[in-house]
Structure 1
Amino acid sequence: MNPPSHGVTLASIYEARARIQGQVARTPLVRSLTLSERFDAEVYLKLENQQPSGAFKLRGATNMIAALMDRDGLEALQRGVTTASTGNHGRAVAFAAARLGVPAVVCLSELVPANKAHAIEALGAEVRRVGRSQDEAFQEVARLVNEQGMTLVPPFDDPLIASGQGTIGVELLEDQPALDRVIVGLSGGGLLGGIGAAVKGIRRGVQVTGVSLSQGAAMWESLQAGQPVDVEEVASLGDSLGGGIGLDNVCTFALVREVMDDHVQVSEGAIARAMVDLLQHEKILVEGAAAVGLAAIDEHGLDIRGQKVALIVSGNGVDLATFDRARSLAGR
């Protein structure tokens, strides 16, 4: 049997798990009493907001940097690593690089909130603001790679990154083997693709639901078009789900098409209400992208009655000003 073109397999996910063990948190899967009663289901929250870097991105970044070190040695990374990010991946790369003593430059567009930029700088990485889209930020990344010999750690479109994120799926089924459905925020596709490859590789019948923003959702538009397309980015409470997927996408577009069963978009109002609900009832303060699973169930009336459902609470990169904006939009 030929390996898949995207390069992400259950074997590559288990290899990632071995590499990152002890470097990232094995986050809890918590049953929400409030949401379970509200939706007549067993609703679980996978708390990736408890990663030491604040988000799931630490898994993929750690896996890729560790794999490169195993292959090329630490000396090959001494010129540093670089990436473009909507915030969380940059923080993960900064965290992993600092632990290894490797320089890091993270390129951000002007749309990335200031609190996320400050969090990256606090870990010792250099932040460069470039343009108003992730694609424009990647132009500076390309220059750093080509002219200064830095090593690219892409935010999503690489089998090592997606396999690292896929370790979440392994943990989900270890903690809840009878899981029926997982609802995942979808942007570049590394998170959903990795989780989908893991859960379907272990238990084929698990339903994988993707959730995208209602505007500026590049993966949504690309799937409709049947090929990667450019989409103008817009400011959003779910800013971590912004950014393009790359017209030369080599991994995650095909991976998402293979593992995702259904796909919805959520409005700013639904994201705001979900953020407020998670703080009020679950006592967790999260960024908009981490709340889209709940937003999707609520806004679209997804029928999860009687199911065991996991929502991926992907990160905690939110400041109080942004949360106050969400609370105002939610009318709470």
Structure 2
Amino acid sequence: MTAKPAFASSTEALNALTIDDIRAAAARIEGSVVRTPMMRSKTLSDIAGCEIWLKFENLQFTAAYKERGALNALLHLTEEQRQRGVIAASAGNHSQGLSYHGSRLGVPVTIVMPRTTPTIKVMQTESVGGNVVLEGETFDEAYEHARSMEKQLGLTFVHPFDDPLVAAGQGTVALEMLEDVPELDCLVTPIGGGGLISGMATAAKALNPSIEVVGVQAQLFPSMYAHIKGDEMECGGDTLAEGIAVKAPGRFTSQIISELVDDIMLVEEEALEKSVSLLLQIEKTVVEGAGAAGLAAVLSNPEHFAGKKVGLVLCGGNIDTRLLANVLLRDLARQGRLARLRITLQDRPGALFKVMREFDRHHVNIIEIYHQRIFTSLPAKGLITDIECEARDREQLDALVKSLEDKGYRVNPVELN
């Protein structure tokens, strides 16, 4: 394995990654990664107005497609490079995929992560054999330290996306999808640095030049979108899709994308949350925010995908359980099945009881009650009570609110941002 070449043009980049490279990668990694299922979702198809096929890459051993590219790169190492070991900068799925397969092959793997990396991610990487070095406050600082260690220790750097060998491994996802469902009209693929979509677009366009390839980025991190469109756009914020929250797109991958990808769509945080929730409720499968980006794009652009046969990659399932719980509860709130009602009352005996009677009459379950007498702008004899409650649906909740208002209560639902 040699250092990543610099590509002066898109033509050079396209020549560095071909369908033959991806087929060779597929043969190389066969049996060492999971050939994940490709399944049609009847319910999601009905919701989206198109035929949805899901590729369950969240069922890989490390719960992400990143194993494919990492393993393909490892299998290109010379014996001397294997003995010295490899290094990468990553706080995500690449670190686990590289560590797992490096450990399996007897190749020492060092992963540099920012000191701000959550402990669970450090532990997950170490549990599959990686040696974690914490350095810097940001990913950029960790990356620079990894490149410094590469030179000092004679290690081989394995980039998480901007490398033809890595992209060839990721392209095997599209090979499998089109082997299983060759008549797909469209592939919808998340974009972070661009390794996955570069490999997938290369494979898909070689097998079917008329197939549409659509990339998806979070609205908060539109780095590749802005680069391809030639726009200046801010990147930053707390996105649910942290796996594709990349501020600087790859140089190699951006050249492939500019030539082969038909469109890039941006999705809002609410669409990502809804899609994570839908996949769990309907398909009974856990995906991280990046893994739900494809579905979010389809649901946000129904007119574009109407009637098409669409392949979506559920690229990863590594989501913090507390975050997942928050996403599910917020989705229930948006559906009107959970609510917090702020009700103004007079501070007198029986006032709260009368309100409770309305909840009982409408069969709305009360979860929690907060009384506020002191920190309020109301007169001294007034009080505010916040009632968290659970309803069957929004219609049932609206009926309760109307009933309370008809009886003279001032009711303000506390809305999500």
2:73 alignment partner, SS class: helix
Name the counterpart of 2:87: 82
Name the counterpart of 2:52: 43
Name the counterpart of 1:100: 105
Distance 1:132 1:222, change over 3 A: farther
CA distance in 1, matches of 2:178, 2:118: 34
Q: Which moves more between the two structures, 152-161 or 299-308?
A: 299-308
1:105 alignment partner, SS class: strand
Matched, 1:184 2:186: no
Name the counterpart of 1:290: 291
Q: 1:243 aligns with which of 242, 246, 254?
A: 246
Q: 1:20 aligns with which of 25, 29, 48?
A: 29
Matched, 1:34 2:37: no
Matched, 1:4 2:5: no
CA distance in 1, matches of 2:104, 2:84: 16
User: TM-score, with normalisation over the residues of structure 1?
Assistant: 0.91
User: TM-score, with normalisation over the residues of structure 2?
Assistant: 0.73
Q: How far did 1:263 drift?
A: 1.0
**Alpha carbons 2:275, 2:295 under 8 Å: kept:** yes
CA distance in 2, matches of 1:106, 1:289: 22
CA distance in 2, matches of 1:10, 1:116: 34
Q: How far did 1:237 drift?
A: 1.1
Total equivalences in the alignment: 323
**Alpha carbons 1:237, 1:326 under 8 Å: kept:** no
Q: How far did 1:320 drift?
A: 1.0
Q: 2:136 aligns with which of 131, 135, 145?
A: 131
**Unpaired runs of 5+ in structure 1?**
none
Name the counterpart of 1:222: 227
Name the counterpart of 1:204: 209
2:305 alignment partner, SS class: coil
Aligned AA (1:208): V
1:201 alignment partner, SS class: helix
Aligned AA (1:253): S
Aligned AA (1:244): K
1:251 alignment partner, SS class: helix
**Unpaired runs of 5+ in structure 2?**
1-8, 334-417
CA distance in 2, matches of 1:277, 1:81: 39
Distance 1:240 1:199, change over 3 A: same
Aligned AA (1:266): V
1:184 alignment partner, SS class: strand
**Alpha carbons 1:46, 1:310 under 8 Å: kept:** yes
Deviations 1:47-89 (A, max 9, x none): 0011112100000000011012xxx22x322222111124101
> Higher relative CO (CA 8 A, sep ≥ 6), structure 1 or 2?
1
**Alpha carbons 2:222, 2:233 under 8 Å: kept:** no
2:76 alignment partner, SS class: helix
Name the counterpart of 1:309: 310
Q: How far did 1:18 drift?
A: 1.3
Name the counterpart of 2:277: 276
CA distance in 2, matches of 1:220, 1:230: 9
Question: What fraction of aligned residue pairs are identical, expressed as a percent?
Answer: 35
Q: How does 1:101-120 map to 2 (within 5 A)?
A: 101-109=106-114, 112-120=117-125
**Alpha carbons 1:103, 1:125 under 8 Å: kept:** yes
CA distance in 2, matches of 1:170, 1:235: 33
CA distance in 2, matches of 1:62, 1:162: 11
Deviations 1:144-188 (A, max 9, x none): 101111111110001001011001111111101101001100010
Name the counterpart of 2:322: 321
CA distance in 2, matches of 1:245, 1:46: 27
Deviations 1:10-64 (A, max 9, x none): 1111111111111111111011011112223221100001111210000000001
